[in-house]
Amino acid sequence: MSSGILSYTSSLRQYVWQYGLREHPALKELRTETEKLPSSMMQICPEQGALMGNLIRLIAAKKTIEVGTYTGYSAMAVALALPDDGEVVACDVSEEWTSVAKKAWEKAGIANKIDLQLAPASNTLDALLAEGKEGSFDFAFIDADKTNYQIYYELCLKLIRQGGVIVIDNVLWGGAVTDSNRNDADTEAIRELNQFIATDKRVSISMIPVGDGLTVAVKN
């Protein structure tokens, strides 16, 4: 029996990276390039990418959604796990960051699987619903502006099929969710979503303390 949660030290993380996952060379190259950017803390960690790739394989996903693409690591992790006819609808508003992503996707040979939509994510998701695509997606990853997390969650829940999976990043928000002195809009939005999903009978959930916290929600 475990005596508690491990302290995730730098040496332990390196151990996990060495023995606990197989980071594709293209992912490693993109991660290394992104780490040079001032905004690099927005990039997911390899552990998260590996977990999402295995979720894709586990549910035999073909059609996926990503809300928040940044420099493209998470979209690449998903696309590499998808079959040849798989698709990622990637939603972002930054041409600057996604220009890095597009180059990396092309180099990795998976650009054909990724449909990048440069527009507010809620507009893109609403458009998919208007096109009659409710219940037609297998997987969604949400990692964008926190104050709109609830909106993205509801739209993605409509778009994925029964048995489909939604993964939500930053649900622990650097520990701020338990800090009573943190009442900024982003922290409050994450707390509210966590509390909402905890009692949402439409999904079965598991909150995992990997990276900045992931909630895995399976549509019932």
Query: Domain limits of the chain?
Result: 10-219
Asked whether the predicted pLDDT for residue 115 surpasses 70, the reply is: yes
Residues 58-111: tens digit of each pLDDT: 999 999 999 999 999 999 999 999 999 999 999 999 999 999 999 999 999 999
Q: How far apart are CA 18 and CA 50, in angstroms?
A: 13
Residues 119-165: tens digit of each pLDDT: 999 999 999 999 999 999 999 999 999 999 999 999 999 999 999 99
Taking phi over 0 as left and psi of -120 to 50 as alpha, with beta for the rest, 45 belongs to beta
Confidence of residue 3 (pLDDT cuts 50, 70, 90): very low
CB 126 within 8 A of CB 155: yes
The whole-number pLDDT of residue 6 equals: 61
Pairing of strands 114-118, 87-92: parallel
Q: How far apart are CA 43 and CA 120, in angstroms?
A: 19
Mean of pLDDT over the chain: 94
Please tell me the pTM assigned to this model: 0.95
Tell me, which fold does domain 10-219 have in CATH? Rossmann fold (3.40.50)
Q: How far apart are CA 210 and CA 106, in angstroms?
A: 29
Torsions phi, psi of 162, nearest 5? -60, 130
> Residue 52, Cβ neighbours under 10 Å: how many?
25
Residues 19-57: tens digit of each pLDDT: 999 999 999 999 999 999 998 888 999 999 999 999 999
